[in-house]
Structure 1
Amino acid sequence: MKVLKWLDEHFEEAILIVLLAAITCVMMAQIIARTFAASMTWPEEFSRYCYIWSVFLSLGYTVKKGNMLKVGVLMDLFPLKVRKSIEIVGNIIMLAIFGILFRYSIIYTGKIKTMGQASTAMGVPMSFMYTATVIGFGLAVFRTVELIIYNIKHFDEKAETTLEATLKEAQQEVQVNAAGANKTGGKA
């Protein structure tokens, strides 16, 4: 049960950290290799594919964290129940879009797999690269369903407005800066 809870809370984060660390390490190795005139052929392709995977995996993470692009200030003008209703309808629309993209990503990835294409420098099957779309849109569907269920269960709870969230974040930043200034003897 703890494993499932950890996966629910940190799955996307962990993979994104690994992918970004891999990009950093491989590109640093490529830079060092070039200084010794021993350039490698595959790091750029590797980094590009890691980046593609990180983009699609971040869809689910973005939905989970509630960081999808939206106009929060406009939503704050509505009463709580209207705001929650609009949010649920918006999430249902997102679910439909992600569902359609998930379906077509499966179809397209299947077509790529039957063609048997491989990447130029690394020789990795291109279907593996396109699987990022399947997993990314699948996670986005899953996280959007979770969000809809959460919003329905907590429909009557007061939500933090954009202004309140911004003020809270600013106060936390001031406290962190003040604590840092106290540790350094006032030199921030």
Structure 2
Amino acid sequence: MAERNQDEFLDDIEQAEAETYREDEIEISDEAAELDTVRAERDAFQDKFMRALADAENARKRAERDRREAENYGGSKLARDLLPVYDNMKRAIESIAEDQREASAGLIEGIELTMRELISVFAKHGVRVVSPQVGDKFDPQVHEAMFEAPLPGTKAGEIIQVSAEGFMLHDRILRPAQVGVSSMQG
């Protein structure tokens, strides 16, 4: 009977060890599951962080682009409103006859100085004159065809008359140059 008790005792020890091992296994699997959960949460937070970082960078770039646009093109309405002043001053200068130049030299010089100053201010703010010449090729990006007419000795699409100069604000058209275009076919 002592043997049996000893066998039972050994069985009891093995069974206790097995239960302890199962408990350790359960504890380890619980810890592994908890670790997996923590890793998944970490990955989710890292993903959210990276997205928020990218959104912030995109917002910064968009704000910088908007600031540049406002700086470069914010004055386009004022510049456009000043174009008729340029046109009128240019017409005034062009309409002065040679015999009038001597009699009104001071007045004419004042008008020409004012015109140069206006051109200087335009240039300072990125406004430049688009001044096509007769014989240039018509470009719909910077020219507006006011009329089309056949003119002997010209090719179709050639500028035959310039009615008004155009203006660019940096790389944008403020006003296209107004031109007449030849419709002659060679």
**Does TM, normalized by the shorter one, top 0.5?**
no
User: Which structure carries more helix by proportion?
Assistant: 1
User: Which structure carries more strand by proportion?
Assistant: 2
Normalization by structure 2: what TM-score?
A: 0.26
